[in-house]
Amino acid sequence: MGHGFLPVSRQDMIKQGIEELDFVYVIGDAYVDHPSFGHAIISRVLEARGYHVGIISQPDWRDENSIAILGRPRLAFLISGGNMDSMVNHYYVSGKRRSADAYTPGGVCGKRPDHAVVVYGNLIRRKFKDIPVIIGGIEASLRRLAHYDYWNNALKRSVLLDSQADLISYGMGERSIVEIAEALESGIDIKDICFIPGTVYKTKDISGITGAAQDEYNAVILPSYKEMVHTPEKYAQSFGIQYQNTDPFTGRTLVEEYPQGVYVVQNPPQKPLSTVEMDDIYALPYERSYHPSYEEKGGVPALTEVKFSLISNRGCFGGCSFCALNFHQGRIVQVRSHESILREAENMTKDPDFKGYIHDVGGPTANFRHPSCEKQLKCGVCKDRQCLFPTPCPNLEADHQDYRLLLQKLRALPGVKKVFIRSGIRFDYLLADKDDSFFRELVEHHISGQLKVAPEHISEPVLKRMGKPERSVYDRFVKKYEKLNKQLGKNQFLVPYLMSSHPGSTLKEAVELAEYLRDLGYMPEQVQDFYPTPSTLSTVMYYTGIDPITGDKVYVCRNPHEKNMQRALIQYKNPKNHDLIREALLKAGREDLIGFGEKCLIRPGKREGDSVGKKEIRSKDNKKDNRSKTRFDRVGQKKNKVIRNIHQKKT
């Protein structure tokens, strides 16, 4: 346990004997002192270096005095929008407002503004005009250069300019924030702090970082903001360059020009943390709970999911096009030691609320416990290919032995009944491992009735744009999973995550996915429509219609009605979707899937069971087809019901 929460009021400062804070950290989330929350890590890292840090959580952005409750900090204000981008936190992909905010006390909505980093930055500037302001967290990190903003349907400037901040600390930020603090402490003006990896700054003079284009030490000039606004193809070109410069070993400095001679400059990323550094960060004195002032409001819902989970790793070499991890955490996997994780688990078992179940041991991808190959830690990741896509790299080291040993140690701890894995298994990496002992132990010990995996789609043109393995790989995984369950006497299901309307998906591919689900006998209860969030390959495709890596033109479904049709096809058994599915099948030229045969998705007529349908059912032959279809429906419904019951029981 920790040694007390950081100050959130003047009274706290007096109690802790602090006359003046070095940093005031403004956050869009509730104050939760747990290492699953970015603000907790950054504030504790600074505290460990001897700095006094205070927290202002969810200030009233309509009142500039709300930003001054802890006074003027000696060195700087820090800003984070929260663990999620504030716009994703607030809105569904449809644009409808969400009804709950898991990162706010009591799950209440409306406690933070849209585009929180920008609003908080301007709020500080109105109250303290000359104070250094450093922004970070996922929202600032993924908006560090010009980016497409789905909610405004426009290309927006770097958040550094719109927030009026001085610096962005992008990525995970532990190293860069310490270097920034030390530079400020030494008396360096914030405008002169332009040399720290993992930061973005603004300037009007780039003469010192540019030169001959072939010089690997000189900056790369990206297309200007003006060019990108007028020519979306230029944005695709720019993003392709950014994508190839996210590695700390090979990444170049990037420069983006704005009007009035302003340049936004991105330094290369920070180097990955060593295991010792990771261990030190997770050993800091976190309280591992939300601030006690939230108790009367019902606590902070987001803590429930992570309170009894263990973070094992960072970084992901999976390379999914719709994921921003490549831009935020990077592709190089960084891990904690077994000893560090076991110490945390042992402390967890002493918590009065612990019931014997560790909910998760993982990270962005649970079964990535070491870099994909040895050369990454010396030379960085490859610029011209992915580790797993389209097929595993010949240099890939697929090995689960370290992870398997860690899980065995956790299972053996006194007080631990079960250790689950919920943060996601990369199934193609699992199959690439010639030793299936981890796969067997996964099925035997670490599944709560159902295993969630993410094939996302099954159509090859869509999988290609997603950066996901071909369908045959997932089919092999399913067969092996079922075989192991049978051998071990288990009755555990697979729950596949599926996505509709991803760039590259036409109605043809959406129908192909529906047919796959029909043959599988499974209908997902929830479907994720593609959500264009900042700084992903898929979002650039959505905005420009171009694959920024290959330069290929890509079909993009932007029409809300077509989006509804693609989503409805995945849930074709739902009677409410009948009209949309019928329209989609007719547009796709697949009338053969409308009828009473076992392969049909829907029956004829306007709605299932209407007068037209009833008349045709009276046909003797169609009665037989309809009985087959009904039996098929019942099997699927029974399977879905079993999955729900198991999930509810385990939960």
Give the chain's domains with CATH numbers: 10-197 (3.40.50.280)
pLDDT, position 212? 54
Structure tokens at 523: 């209908």
> Of 583, 557, 558, which is closest to residue 569 (Cα–Cα)?
583
Task: Confirm if 140 and 117 have CB atoms less than 8 A apart.
Answer: yes
Per DSSP bridges, beta strands 147-149 and 154-156 are antiparallel
pLDDT, position 294? 97
Facing residues of 477 across strands? none
At residue 498, the 3 state secondary structure works out as strand
Task: Confirm if 581 and 591 have CB atoms less than 8 A apart.
Answer: no
Q: Per the annotation, does 323 bind a ligand?
A: yes
**Within the chain, which residues score under 50 in pLDDT?**
1-2, 607-636, 639-640, 642-651
Query: Residues 618, 619, 624, CA angle at the centre, nearest 5°?
Result: 100
Using a CB cutoff of 8 Å and minimum separation of 24, what contacts does 354-358 make?
354/308, 354/415, 355/417, 356/415, 356/416, 356/417, 356/418, 357/308, 357/416, 357/417, 357/418, 357/419, 357/420, 358/308, 358/309, 358/310, 358/410, 358/416, 358/418, 358/419, 358/420
Q: What is the dihedral of CA 276, 282, 284, 289, to 10 degrees?
A: 180
Instruction: Give the other-Cβ count within 10 Å of 574's Cβ.
Output: 14
Instruction: Give the other-Cβ count within 10 Å of 437's Cβ.
Output: 11
Using the structure block, give the residue that is written with the tokens 């009985």: 627
Structure tokens at 70: 């802890």
The whole-angstrom separation of Cα 102 and Cα 301 is: 5
At residue 486, the 3 state secondary structure works out as helix
Q: Per the annotation, does 320 bind a ligand?
A: yes
Q: Return the beta strands (E) in 418-512 as ranges.
A: 418-419, 450-456, 493-500
The whole-angstrom separation of Cα 637 and Cα 451 is: 19
Task: Confirm if 291 and 29 have CB atoms less than 8 A apart.
Answer: no
The whole-angstrom separation of Cα 136 and Cα 341 is: 26
The whole-angstrom separation of Cα 158 and Cα 228 is: 13
pLDDT, position 374? 85
pLDDT, position 448? 87
Per DSSP bridges, beta strands 289-290 and 309-311 are unpaired
> Of 573, 580, 579, 577, which is closest to residue 640 (Cα–Cα)?
573
